[in-house]
Structure 1
């Protein structure tokens, strides 16, 4: 790297670090162009030939959160070789990792044995990426354990709403009370005009999770996603639906996901039974939704739409729900699969009253759902038209 009068890093370093960024992307990290440029600026300020400087320049600019640190360390180990700085490795990994060393960055022309390790990392990253996209119903026991870890690490922010309460702000409406108090302190003179704006509060999210027989391969993953959402943000209500409606919000409050699922298993009496979506949705609205739980909330219904009850009742209750809720999201594990069409009786009846129909068969699909729930959206364009047979 050139310093002083030079404007940026050497071209060889840029090419080498571009290859490293591609390795990070293969490992599942974002590592976009903006972060890459930030890393190059950091390397220009530091000494690229010092392993500690190079490590921290990359880690502080390319990692988007704690979940990226282990991937970053593994990528550095595979791409450059060497040891992680001692203070960087403490408490971050269960096993020691190897990372950039001085000799690795000295030889930027590719005369090292790193490509072999890079190929191994690329294979591991490809396996991880495939696992994120794998259907929950096809996983082995070993893969399920890894998927559980991935679900526990999903980001969950959630939508917000404007409160009636206000707070001091740099911009907004003039706050008459604070203006009056300021004038009293200054003997009646007006020196400043304090302003106020409405607060943002978390918008409630209500999850209705189908635990009937047809949803059995996906039920555990849906419950673990609900636990992650409940632990990461306030104002989340969780119910199971099958032949009965069961509120499991309290069970989801357990810190450990396995303990939460055990509590849910003890509380839910209708695992792997039939599905009466219309009746249970009516029960939810009569007991909780109409009284305020569904008002202004984002309601997420996770089901494949197989209805054994009255389809007309489901359509009526979905219309009723849509009038109360801010938005209705339907998660179907079969969306996106080859040949899928929303032709199941329950799905066809509910479709006209849904804002978004999304997939829910994999970790990647849940990541997209979490991102969707972080948006405070209004009625959006429906992803599927109403089938003619249901019109």
Structure 2
């Protein structure tokens, strides 16, 4: 293995870690990514303590990022031993177990040839491979690791300008605050106070299919929904043979408690699918009254429909007219040769703005990027998003 190949392999693991940070809500820009790679190259790429400190110094832009960074780092590389998120380090973290891809057998023996490329952390490499694995094919240990990575997710809708105004450096003059400043100074000249419209994220609504055909993916998708609820302004419903609102159950801080609460609240696990009737029920009870208006609505389903496909098509048109954006994530889309030929999927697709995969951690990361408006390359089924 050449040195360049080894370097690219190590950089690939670190880039995957930065993608996981972005999915967790850390604003790790391209400039910060390059700074992180340069810092790790100057230090020791295979030593967990050096990777941790390099990332903490270059990728975190504020106090809120530190907690997310700690959670993602622990899930990706393992918990840094000897330190917590708020306590100073009392002992240096141990070195990672290192492997070199393509290393000749017996290279570590006396007289053996040392590998020419930089070492790559085995745990981090496995996490990067896990990002692209189909959730349905994971074993118990891999599902545990996936759960830790999903717990660090943050799902926020695209920012929109609200009618409310707040203090700003630039913008229109705020007469009330300016006059109050003049009065406070006894009429002496004072700097003009300005205000501008406040940006806030759009509401996100998740409709998660828990029918029998979606059973291999339901747990991972609900954990994704749990992280989204904790990030705020997200509503979650399960769909199968019934429509169940589970936002309150998913508000538990602990993911396992949240999953247990959802298991108790949802009566139709692994049943059939009545997408058209349930989308209509959602619109009649919640969506038409305001929950779907101007929101980003995400359906996580394979599109199998037991009911009337024409009913689903009509209800999806209603939903599309209300929502700012309709996104459909289908785990089956990643399979070779897939085409949306199922009656339900074919009926719904004309009313979908973005059609994505939903089978892996990387696919859910991309879904999160589409929801927050950061992925312009998603497959657009219709024209440009509405304002």
Q: TM-score range by the shorter chain?
A: 0.7 to 0.9
Q: Which runs of 5+ in 1 are unaligned?
A: 1-15, 75-83, 100-110, 387-391
Q: CA 1:168–1:177 in 2, change beyond 3 Å: closer, same or farther?
A: same
Matched, 1:98 2:95: yes
Q: Which residue of 2 aligns with 1:154?
A: 153
Summarize the alignment of residues 226-237 of structure 1 with structure 2, pairs less than 5 Å apart: 226-231=225-230, 233-237=231-235
Question: Aligned match of 1:337 in 331, 335, 338?
Answer: 335
Q: Which residue of 1 aligns with 2:204?
A: 205
Deviating more after overlay: 125-134 vs 268-277: 125-134
Summarize the alignment of residues 1-391 of structure 1 with structure 2, pairs less than 5 Å apart: 22-26=9-13, 28-30=16-18, 35-36=33-34, 58-61=54-57, 65-67=69-71, 69=73, 96-98=93-95, 115=115, 121=120, 124-185=123-184, 191-231=190-230, 233-375=231-373, 382-384=379-381
Per-residue deviation, 1:124: 4.5
Q: Which has the larger radius of gyration?
A: 1
Q: CA 1:374–1:26 in 2, change beyond 3 Å: closer, same or farther?
A: same
Per-residue deviation, 1:56: 7.8
Per-residue deviation, 1:192: 3.3
Q: What is the CA–CA distance in structure 1 between the aligned matches of 2:48 and 2:348, rounded to whole Å?
A: 57
Q: CA 1:156–1:184 in 2, change beyond 3 Å: closer, same or farther?
A: same
Q: TM-score, normalised by structure 2?
A: 0.75
1:157-214: CA deviation from partner (whole Å, max 9, x where unpaired):
4322222111111111121222333444566676433211011223211110111111
Per-residue deviation, 1:223: 0.5
The answer to whether the 8 Å contact 1:29/1:63 transfers is no
Q: What is the CA–CA distance in structure 2 between the aligned matches of 1:41 and 1:144, rounded to whole Å?
A: 32
Per-residue deviation, 1:125: 4.2
SS in 2 for 1:334: helix
Per-residue deviation, 1:243: 0.7
Q: CA 1:358–1:56 in 2, change beyond 3 Å: closer, same or farther?
A: closer
Q: What is the CA–CA distance in structure 2 between the aligned matches of 1:154 and 1:284, rounded to whole Å?
A: 26
The answer to whether the 8 Å contact 2:241/2:271 transfers is yes
Q: What is the CA–CA distance in structure 2 between the aligned matches of 1:308 and 1:366, rounded to whole Å?
A: 26
Q: CA 1:35–1:227 in 2, change beyond 3 Å: closer, same or farther?
A: closer
Q: What is the CA–CA distance in structure 1 between the aligned matches of 2:254 and 2:9, rounded to whole Å?
A: 35
Q: What is the CA–CA distance in structure 2 between the aligned matches of 1:252 and 1:186, rounded to whole Å?
A: 51
SS in 1 for 2:333: coil
Per-residue deviation, 1:257: 1.1
1:302-360: CA deviation from partner (whole Å, max 9, x where unpaired):
11111111111111111111111111110100113210111111111111111111110
SS in 2 for 1:144: helix
Q: What is the CA–CA distance in structure 2 between the aligned matches of 1:118 and 1:70, rounded to whole Å?
A: 22
